[in-house]
Amino acid sequence: MSDEPRIVIGVDPGTALTGYGIVAQRSASGGLVSLAFGTIATSPRDELPWRVQHIYRELCELIGLHRPAEMAIEKIYFSRNVRSALAVGQARGVALLAAAQAGLAVYEYSPQEIKQAVTAHGQASKEQVQEGVRLLLGLSQVPQPDDAADALAAAICHLQHAPWALRVARVEG
């Protein structure tokens, strides 16, 4: 690994709140640090095109500021609430567009993979994910809100999985 930190942006998409978390891996031994995290909020009073445009612009600004090379995002899972699944899909689409336009590699992980990466349990609660993220990043407090913690968890998940995926690709290639 070079002297440059490896930077990943994690995204937890949603049209009301899109969580983001930017994590750097400072060394080959794995030292992780949070560079930024939070949420991009939109108003339900605004029409959908304006909401997704706001999410897109904010993500583009974060990508430009922190210059990650990769994006980790949660895979879409099927839900009984179709309306909520569609809203997540719309926010996810603009996140993928922002990544593609910035030339970022995009990696998708299931909710269970993300939870497993930060808690060692694929069915962990929101509180357990927040505490796992806090411990892994050495934060003094749990990241709030849980959308931001979920985005940080996605970035951590990728930083833990990617070295293995690269080794497997080299072996299979």
**Could you report the per-residue pLDDT of 124-162, keeping only the tens digit for each?**
999 999 999 999 999 999 999 999 999 999 999 999 886
Catalytic residue selected from 12, 58, 70, 113: 12
Is the predicted pLDDT of residue 44 greater than 60, yes or no?
yes
* 162-172 average pLDDT score: 47
pLDDT in tens, 72-128: 998 877 666 777 778 788 999 999 999 999 999 999 999 999 999 999 888 899 999
The pTM for the full model equals 0.90
In a domain, 1, yes or no: no
One-letter amino acid identity for 85? A
Q: Is-catalytic flag, 12?
A: yes
Residue the block writes with tokens 């060692």: 120
In a domain, 140, yes or no: yes
Measured between alpha carbons, how far apart are the two ends of the chain, in Å?
21
* CA–CA distance, 102 with 105 (Å, rounded to integer): 9
| 58: CATH | 3.30.420.10
Residue 125: partners with Cβ closer than 8 Å, 6 or more residues away: none
In a domain, 157, yes or no: yes
Q: How many domains does the chain have?
A: 1
Residue 166: partners with Cβ closer than 8 Å, 6 or more residues away: none
pLDDT at residue number 80: 67
Catalytic residue selected from 74, 113, 131, 146: 74
In a domain, 23, yes or no: yes
Catalytic residue selected from 131, 146, 147, 150: 147
Q: Is-catalytic flag, 146?
A: no
Q: Could you list the residue range(s) of the whole structural domain that residue 74 is in? A: 6-172
Is the predicted pLDDT of residue 54 greater than 80, yes or no?
yes
Q: Is-catalytic flag, 46?
A: no
* 84: nearest Cα among 10, 14, 11: 14
